[in-house]
């Protein structure tokens, strides 16, 4: 019991606010479904996209939101949903028209 009580992981988790717990959980869910849709079952791409959007909607960090949209676009391209990927990449470019990954993604989605 002493090992668990003195664990730095437990201490870290205890320090998180309720909102941080929710954000962390949403991030883990989105990451897992991204992997499932890309590698295991492409039919779950819409479910993964919903999870990624849930994460985007609750996160307050714009850089992480942009990165998550790029991840969503890549997942959508890998699962044959170029039309939806295009929307994700265009959203990234609306925030930064010079984003290299966003520009590349648009090109791939349109090809």
With a CB cutoff of 8 Å and minimum separation 6, the contacts of 23 are 55, 58, 59
In this prediction the pTM is 0.81
Residue 14's pLDDT is: 60
Residue 17's pLDDT is: 77
Residue 96's pLDDT is: 97
Q: Which domains does the chain have, with CATH numbers?
A: 2-110 (1.25.40.10)
CA distances from 45 to 3, 7, 63, 90 (A): 40, 37, 23, 19
Residue 8's pLDDT is: 47
More confident: 91 or 27: 91
How does residue 109 score in pLDDT terms, banded at 50, 70 and 90? very high
DSSP 43-78: GGHHHHHHHHHHHHHH---HHHHHHHHHHHHHHHHH
Burial zone of 18 (CB within 10 Å; 0-12 exposed, 13-18 middle, 19+ buried)? exposed
């Amino acid at each position: 019991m002493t090992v668990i009580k003195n664990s730095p992981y437990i201490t870290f988790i205890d320090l998180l606010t309720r909102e941080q717990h929710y954000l962390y959980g949403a991030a883990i869910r989105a990451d897992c479904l991204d992997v499932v849709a890309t590698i295991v079952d492409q039919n779950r791409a819409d479910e993964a996209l919903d999870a990624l959007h849930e994460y985007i909607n609750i996160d307050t960090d714009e850089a992480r939101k942009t990165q998550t949209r790029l991840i969503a676009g890549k997942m959508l391209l890998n699962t044959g949903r170029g039309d939806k990927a295009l929307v994700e990449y265009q959203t990234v470019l609306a925030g930064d028209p010079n984003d290299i990954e966003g520009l590349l993604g648009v090109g791939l989605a349109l090809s």
